[in-house]
Chain A
Amino acid sequence: MQDSNRTASFSGVRAQALAPGLPRARRKTDLRRIIFITLMLLPAFAALGVFMYYPIEETFRLSLNKASGLGDTEYVGLANYLQLFANEEFRAGFINVLLWAFWSVVVQIPLAFFVAFSLTNYKNRVTRPLRAIYYLANILPSAITAMLGSLVFGNTNGVISSLARNLNITWLMKVDFLGDMRLAFMTVFIVGTWTYSGFYIVYLMARMEQIPTEIREAAHLDGADGWLYARTIVLPMVWYPLRIIAVLCVVGSMKVFDLPFLMTRGGPADATKTLGIILYNRGFRDAQYGLAAAVGVVIFALSLVFTIFQFSLQRRGGDIE
């Protein structure tokens, strides 16, 4: 409401400034204000233009060209996109990010809800440090979490592998977490779950802690405790943040790069390849900047679709009027 008032008053000032018949001194003051406001906004617009809109425009332009970076660029229209969608590796990457998004929603969100609920409703000396522990992975650099993940699942000196060897558990010794086509994706995803869930947990906890005590007490008096309380009271009350988290999960999945790249380089074969890894390989390794830009545009388009979806959810949820 306040914002709309400001906008109205600004529009009014502009209208008055341009209106004839006003005293000259007042028009001059208004003009000065407009210039002042414009000047104040200019750095932000310039920064956005240079660092955001121009690169986006350049990426779109580059995606329509064949460019190695060394030599002339050649306009090829949509050929890069056609080449991408005909490419098996790209299709694998595309499917992998969709799978990553699916599993993120199916696994990470219920897990985050469960942990957040437990930490909020069962406060004791143990749960307090647990909040920090769960969030820790989220603030660690991904290089560290990937290294820790490799340390656990690695097959030569990995924790699980060494344990299996020392305890002589033959079947476990044979499991190749990062090298088996059937396991590599889920292994990286498990490390991803550990890394990203911390944020969701903290986000949900913040909402859960806002639930008034009276509601909890009333639920308790009605016999709604534990799981029943979680399902019938808490879940509906955090439904909106859960939907936002779901969208964040999906948008983040489109761009996932660091963990699969650092843990498996996208392998074995294309098992853990993501659109981000394909973009990196084409652009930075193979000097095919046009193709890399086309991958970037696809990621951008996917993210945009899901972001629009997020906004539509917010509107329905009542946050944006």
Chain B
Amino acid sequence: MKTRRLIVLVAVVICLLTAIPGIAQGKVKLTVWGRDVLDDDPAHVSVAALVKGFEAKYPDIDVEWVALGDPGLMDKTKIQMAVGSGLPDIFQTWGGTTMGSYADKGMLLDLTAELKNIPGSAAAASAMTWKGRIYGVAPFFAVAGIFLNEGLFKANGISTKFASVDDLERAAAALKAAGVQPFACGAKDKWPPLAMYMYLTNRYGGDIFTQAAARKARFDADPFVKAATLYQNWVKKGFLGDKPLGEGYGDAQQLMATGRAALHVTGSWMCAQYSSADFTDQNLGFYAFPTIPGGKGKVTDVMGMPDIAYAATKEAASKKAAAVKFLTYAMSTEAGQADPGRIASMPGVISKSNLTKMAVAVFGQSKTVQFWWDQNLPAAITTPLNETIQTFFLPETNVKASLAKYEELAAANIK
């Protein structure tokens, strides 16, 4: 009788163990929060390949990829970080001050010793470093530049070489005269106009943003106002379309994809789509933003941010080895090579499209990388920043007054 009971007990234990594969095979489960779903969309290909490749290489580690979308990923991460629980082991991030604020609260895993020797671009490594400690990796880095419709420029006899912003302005006027919308933007979504404003401000005032963020200059200083005024003038001239505030970022992409707009100042993350035959039949190029005569900014000053990056949270402390393996694999050439259009941070990745090669060249010639402003300011003043810039699109806006109001907010929130 006792023997029979023992047999039944052993059978039950075996059944339970086999029902939980992780326990049976000693598997570690890594929960990763990402933005995109793992499908074959050109923009999602690399994350899908990362998870698939990693699980194939490390069969003892299971990756549970949770796609939260945009802005779901940022919002959920922010809330869970504030709560201090319910966090994943690894999450997709854009580095900068947002990641830094999580690190300050002790929610991230310091992986300085484990990640410091991983080869990669200095800009990408810097974005994932906060107060000298490394919390993650940025396998892909995005730079802002000008996507330009080569075909439309050629058809209208306009040169694609811009010695200065004056040339860009002349090209825009010529395009408008030819019935083509010069710039696609997506101002309805508020954040897209920032890319061009960052460049215009830099070209007028050099590192004025860094100074303002460090409270050594004001956000209504001359270069900010000049850039805003020029931006507003371009809007008034119709360079950003007849109805720029009704145009979302998706609309802007469509305008470029169908050849109804000729220029788009945005991040190099668009390289995959803009070089995909399924997305557009137009021939697009990628160029650095030109300088302004008499301005302090150089053509080698580039605006950039991590395109896809990951950081580990304190939840991963008990499975640090697995988390490090994931982050290290994300920085491997094999994982980097899977993306069809992004700028890879790791060495040895060959760009698949001409457009990406052009973006890599712009990144390669950069001497200073200024992080995207809204990733480099305290969270409390990032939405107001984008909303302030959106007001430049209204002809009645007094840009100086708008910037002065933003300066007040910055003064109250930057310590």
* Chain A interface residues (CB < 8 Å from chain B): 68-71, 89, 150, 154-157, 173-174, 176-181, 264-265, 267-269, 281, 284-289
A180-B245, A281-B383 are contacts. A157–B254 as well, Cβ < 8 Å? yes
Least distance between B238 CB and chain A CB atoms (Å)? 11
A284 touches B75 (CB 8 A): yes
Q: Which residue of B lies closest to A288 (CB)?
A: B380
Which residues of chain B have C-beta atoms less than 8 A from A174's C-beta?
Answer: 242-243
Q: A70-B102, A156-B255, A157-B251 are in contact. Are A179 and B244 (CB under 8 A)?
A: yes
- From B3-11, B225-233, B324-332, B386-394, the one touching the partner chain is B386-394
Interface residue total, chain B, C-beta cutoff 8 A: 38
Contact between A284 and B242, CB atoms less than 8 A apart: no
Contact of B381 among A157, A178, A181, A286 (CB under 8 A): A286
Instruction: Known A267-B387, A285-B379; judge A155-B190 contact (CB<8 A).
Output: no
CB-CB under 8 A from B243, the residues of chain A are 155, 174, 176, 179-180
Contact of B246 among A68, A177, A281, A285 (CB under 8 A): A177
Q: Which 4 pairs from chain A and chain B are nearest by CB?
A: A69-B82, A179-B246, A179-B245, A176-B243
Convert B232-260 into 0s and 1s, putting 1 for each residue whose CB lies closer than 8 angstroms to a CB of A.
00000000001111111001001100000
A154 lies within 8 A of B251 (CB): yes
Given known A69-B82, A70-B81, A157-B254, contact A176–B105 (CB-CB < 8 A): no
Q: Is the CB of A268 within 8 A of B254?
A: no
Do the beta carbons of A71 and B379 come within 8 Å of each other? no
Q: Which residues of A contact B247 (CB under 8 A)?
A: 155-156, 179
Q: How far is the CB of B405 from chain A (nearest CB, A)?
A: 8
Question: How many residue-residue contacts, CB under 8 A, span A and B?
Answer: 98
Which B residues have a C-beta under 8 Å from some C-beta of A?
71, 75, 78-79, 81-83, 101-102, 104-105, 107, 187-190, 242-248, 251, 254-255, 379-384, 387, 390-391, 393-394, 397
Residue of chain A at shortest CB distance from B250: A156
Q: Which residues of A contact B379 (CB under 8 A)?
A: 68, 285-287
- Within the complex, the shortest CB–CB distance from B114 to chain A, in Å, comes to 24
Q: Check A70 against B383 for contact (C-beta < 8 Å).
A: no
Q: A156-B251, A179-B245, A285-B75 are in contact. List 11 more A-B contacts (CB 8 A).
A: A150-B248, A176-B245, A176-B246, A265-B188, A267-B190, A268-B188, A268-B245, A268-B390, A269-B397, A284-B75, A287-B78
A267: chain B residues at CB < 8 Å are 188, 190, 245, 387, 390
- Complex Cα distance, B187 from A314, in Å, reads 46
